[in-house]
Amino acid sequence: MNPALLLFSSSTLVHLSPVDLVIIIFYFALVLAIGLYLKEQANTGEDFFMAGREMTAWVAGLAFLSANLGSLELMGWAGNSYKYGILAAHWYWIGAIPSMLFLALIMMPFYYVCKTHSVPGYLKLRFGQDSQALSSISFALMTVLMSGINMYAMAVVMKVVLGWDINFSILVSSVTVAIYVALGGLRSAIFNEVLQFFLIWAGALLIPILGLIEAGGWDGMKAKILQNLTEQHAANPGAYTHLWSTLGNFGDNPMGINWAGIVFGLGAVIAMGYWTTDFLVVQRVLSAKDLRSAELAPIIGAAFKMLVPFIVILPGLLGLALLRDPHTGSLLHLVPADLAWSKEGQAQGLHGYDEVLPLMLARYCGPGLLGLGITALIAGFMSGMAGNVSAFTTVWTYDIYGALINKNATDEGKVRMGRWVTVIGVGISIGTAYLVMHAQSIMDYVQALFSFFIAPLFGTVILGMLWKRATKAGGFWGLLAGTLSSVGMYAWGKLDPSSVRYLALSDKAQDQAQNMFRALWCWLICVIVTVVVSLMTKPKSDEELKDLVYGLTPIPKQAHVSWIQSPIFWGIVVAIVFLILQVIFW
Amino acid sequence: MKSGGSLSIWFFIGISLAFNGAVICAAGIYELMYPPVNQVVLYNLHANVWWGAVLLVLGLFFSLRFSPARERARMAGNS
């Protein structure tokens, strides 16, 4: 019997062997052992919340990247590359590399010199407590929601792929995360993120290698995709394998977006906002042992980020080229998750876009390799949860509890609070996981959360760092206006779907295109309101802005380092490779 | 990376890669001896044998290079 038939003939995608289970159980035992081992090294606030600020550039850089490399991301973008083609790689290249370099070389000195514990902490120093309270409360809300979404997404994937009970998956993953983060704090989260980074590469790298062998190389894959194109895109055959050449018009590519949406909406706002102000990722860099390590960490992260499409985007494209229905031999058409996971979809044996990675895993991986691939997915989900929970714990303890509730809290009290809040945060995340079970589309909520909070926050932080005339009132009202306008545009889009022609400039715009333009508009609103209000209100003196604003912050002289150790040199190298990739896949 | 103790993060990564590599390689060798009825696509390449071996070698390198004994010696040398 054809093995693929077995895969599709049951209600689950794959069946694990005892060897696979041994690998999965070993992973859980290892992360708990790491948490127990690190407990003794998480006694002070600096240890628990900032990992002692002693991470090397490599560890901070890999954790910085891994905090974003969760399974929701891996499976979601592999699915998006099946749906949108190579355009999905923009989220790894222009949607990451320039902003990571900007964080490293422009923004990191400010974060590092002012010794803040968090991004809301920087806002307090720059714009006062109102802005800190607004951003910390919205960030805390976003992180527990994201953690719950990660938890639920993992449980659904485990159910669809392995047939595991949803409640069992949520319970096991949440208890494990709560134990190892509560014991070891940020250091424990970072250790597990770096471990996850290696597991993901070990578990996923074989898929593109074997896929390219089966497809006959890159050219063979492109030829097969051309054969499989739907009528809709047959008129524009380059749409799935070219990055830029189909972005002249909204209708020429599967995403319904143009170059302006990608460059300004994604590259200049969403990516800049996420990689430079989302405390989940910035916290990893702040744990670096010195300024040079803090600058190098995002550059190291950027170098590896450029490689991630090889294990995420390429498997999606290979799925488009190779996956066939084992019963009929015809092209296997993956469908939106809502349809695939509905009762009707399950009855028809449909598979969602997001299942392309597990489908490819099952196609090539036998006993042992399959267990490693599934472990990589579980590790990705759990570190996604742990990242959100550890960031939530820090922001709650320093920016809400320490700033608003108990201003005289001792360091020991903050660590104790941090451990309890970790457990409570996981508990709230479990509640959120059950809440989003009723949501129609998980990714819809994820993208909406980002555009609500991250895009306007970037406007406030960047003006605060680069424009000394920005005032306390300007920062607060700009942030509030940006956030409310984003929520308003989202609600308008839901209530009146035809509004897409105004919000995204084209009635052809798909979900991702709408997200990009909504982020761009709310960022602009934030910036305009901040500038107008600032010009009408009294600015702080230069003395008060020392160490917070460009031009008023003396950057510490670094010990003499050779050019090959210089962050600027490696930043230029990464930028050149980034440009070469754009040309190759133009 | 300094972890505050004698165990480096790279040691944990080495242990993980070595264990997984050994298990995967062993499972692949077993499959070579007793070929399964239901084979994955490109089974003939025996990916689990050579990929498991690669992970095992990499894991052993990390485990030995960052072993607790070596780390203690390095820290003693630094102090």
Cβ of B33: how many Cβ atoms within 10 Å? 7
User: What pLDDT, on a 0 to 100 scale, did the predictor assign at position A182?
Assistant: 87
Lowest mean pLDDT among A78-92, A235-249, A401-415: A235-249
Task: Please judge whether A206 and B37 are an interchain contact, meaning their C-beta atoms are less than 8 angstroms apart.
Answer: no
CATH of the domain at A282: 1.20.1730.10
Residue A318, Cα to own-chain centre: how many angstroms?
23
Mean pLDDT, rounded, of chain A: 83
- Is A518 among the domain residues? no
Cα–Cα distance for residue pair A4/A90, rounded to 1 Å: 32
Rounded mean pLDDT, B43-63: 93
Residue A1 has pLDDT above 60, yes or no: no
Q: Biggest alpha carbon distance in chain A?
A: 78
User: What pLDDT, on a 0 to 100 scale, did the predictor assign at position B57?
Assistant: 96
Number of domains in chain A: 1
Rg of chain A on CA atoms, in Å: 23
Burial of A139 (0-12, 13-18, 19+ CB in 10 A): buried
Count of pairs with CB atoms under 8 A, one residue in A, one in B: 113
User: What pLDDT, on a 0 to 100 scale, did the predictor assign at position B79?
Assistant: 60
- Is A209 among the domain residues? yes
Shortest Cα–Cα distance, A103 to chain B (Å)? 23
Shortest Cα–Cα distance, B39 to chain A (Å)? 6
Cα–Cα distance for residue pair B79/B74, rounded to 1 Å: 9
CA torsion sign for A405, A406, A407, A410 is negative
Rounded mean pLDDT, A351-365: 84
Percent with pLDDT over 90 in chain A: 22
* Closest listed residue to residue A389, CA positions, set A199, A194, A174, A191: A174
Q: What is the ipTM of this complex?
A: 0.91
- Is A89 among the domain residues? yes
- Is A38 among the domain residues? yes
Q: Which residues are within 8 A (CB) of A38 and not within 5 positions of it... i.e. 6 or more apart?
A: A183, A184, A185, A187, A188, A191, B3
Cβ of A335: how many Cβ atoms within 10 Å? 17
Task: Please judge whether A369 and B1 are an interchain contact, meaning their C-beta atoms are less than 8 angstroms apart.
Answer: no
Angle at A69 between CA A67 and CA A73, to 5 degrees: 125
Task: Please judge whether B48 and A369 are an interchain contact, meaning their C-beta atoms are less than 8 angstroms apart.
Answer: yes
**From residue A471, how far is each of A454, A468, A475, A533, A541 by CA, in Å?**
20, 8, 6, 8, 10
B69 — pLDDT class (breaks 50, 70, 90): confident
A402 — pLDDT class (breaks 50, 70, 90): confident
Span A157-184, pLDDT tens digits: 787 777 888 888 888 888 888 888 888 8
Higher pLDDT, A536 or A291: A536
Contact B19, A26 (CB under 8 A): yes
Type and span of the H or E element at A138: helix A129-162
CA torsion sign for A395, A558, A459, A576 is negative
* Boundaries of domain holding A316: 3-441
Shortest Cα–Cα distance, A194 to chain B (Å)? 8
- Is A201 among the domain residues? yes
Question: Among A3, A22, A52, whose Cβ lies nearest the Cβ of B4?
Answer: A52
> Chain B residues with CB inside 8 Å of A202's CB?
17, 20, 55
Span A74-123, pLDDT tens digits: 888 888 888 888 888 999 999 999 999 999 988 888 777 777 777 888 88
User: What pLDDT, on a 0 to 100 scale, did the predictor assign at position A6?
Assistant: 38
Higher pLDDT, A1 or B60: B60
User: What pLDDT, on a 0 to 100 scale, did the predictor assign at position A211?
Assistant: 94
User: What pLDDT, on a 0 to 100 scale, did the predictor assign at position B4?
Assistant: 47
Question: Among B31, B40, B45, whose Cβ lies nearest the Cβ of A3?
Answer: B40
Read off the tokens for A28. Answer: 């859980």
Residue A364 has pLDDT above 70, yes or no: yes
Q: Which residues are within 8 A (CB) of A331 and not within 5 positions of it... i.e. 6 or more apart?
A: A228, A323, A324, A325
Read off the tokens for A564. Answer: 């090959």
Task: Please judge whether A26 and B13 are an interchain contact, meaning their C-beta atoms are less than 8 angstroms apart.
Answer: no
* Closest listed residue to residue A138, CA positions, set A119, A151, A115, A152: A119
Shortest Cα–Cα distance, B23 to chain A (Å)? 7
Question: Among B3, B5, B16, whose Cβ lies nearest the Cβ of A30?
Answer: B16
Residue A480 has pLDDT above 80, yes or no: yes
User: What pLDDT, on a 0 to 100 scale, did the predictor assign at position B2?
Assistant: 46
Task: Please judge whether B4 and A41 are an interchain contact, meaning their C-beta atoms are less than 8 angstroms apart.
Answer: yes
Cα–Cα distance for residue pair A302/A574, rounded to 1 Å: 7
- Is A458 among the domain residues? no
User: What pLDDT, on a 0 to 100 scale, did the predictor assign at position A10?
Assistant: 45
**From residue A13, how far is each of A157, A172, A268, A337, A346 by CA, in Å?**
10, 21, 39, 15, 12
Percent with pLDDT over 70 in chain B: 90
